[in-house]
Amino acid sequence: MAIWKQDIDLTRINAWGANTMLETLGIQIVEIGEDWLRGTMPVDRRTHQPYGLLHGGASVALAETLGSMAAMLTLDPAEEMTVGLDINANHIRGARSGLVTGTARALHLGRSTQVWEIRIENESGQLVCISRITMAVIPATKAAG
């Protein structure tokens, strides 16, 4: 059963990243299932750390992007929105090039909080990073404040 309360249009969702860090890092939402959202990020000069490996912060940026977007899509934006409370990440394997793919899946969709797990894998399907983000669900009226 689909968990989304908004129109799932990849063009519209990817447009949210215009003129943001998502555009700078090359993050793209590529696929949405009934209860998961998937995105990619290139491993290149934009996302490397000084040793030529994927920067852990870039992995966290991908994880937070996927978890936050997924959380937002489960709500009616006229009524509610989500904001991040906590994120953690374990960096399992390095990556030097190619594309990493993250998949966000809900672990908990509550009235006031959501918890999402994001698995980031390399092109061979090997786990690069595992992350968990906790989102607070707040009234949409608080967005301006």
Q: What is the C-alpha to C-alpha distance for residues 128 and 95, in angstroms, rounded to an integer?
A: 7
User: Which tens digits make up the pLDDT trace of 10-27?
Assistant: 999 999 999 999 999 999
- Residue 2 in domain: no
The active-site residue out of 23, 31, 34, 64 is 64
pTM as predicted: 0.95
* Residue 23 domain boundaries: 10-144
pLDDT score of 143 more than 80: no
Question: What's the CATH number where 85 sits?
Answer: 3.10.129.10
Does 64 qualify as catalytic in the annotation? yes
Q: What is the C-alpha to C-alpha distance for residues 23 and 19, in angstroms, rounded to an integer?
A: 6
pLDDT value at position 5?
Answer: 95
Q: What is the C-alpha to C-alpha distance for residues 113 and 1, in angstroms, rounded to an integer?
A: 20
Q: What is the C-alpha to C-alpha distance for residues 135 and 84, in angstroms, rounded to an integer?
A: 4
- Residue 3 in domain: no
- Residue 122 in domain: yes
Name the domain count of the chain. Answer: 1
pLDDT score of 142 more than 90: no
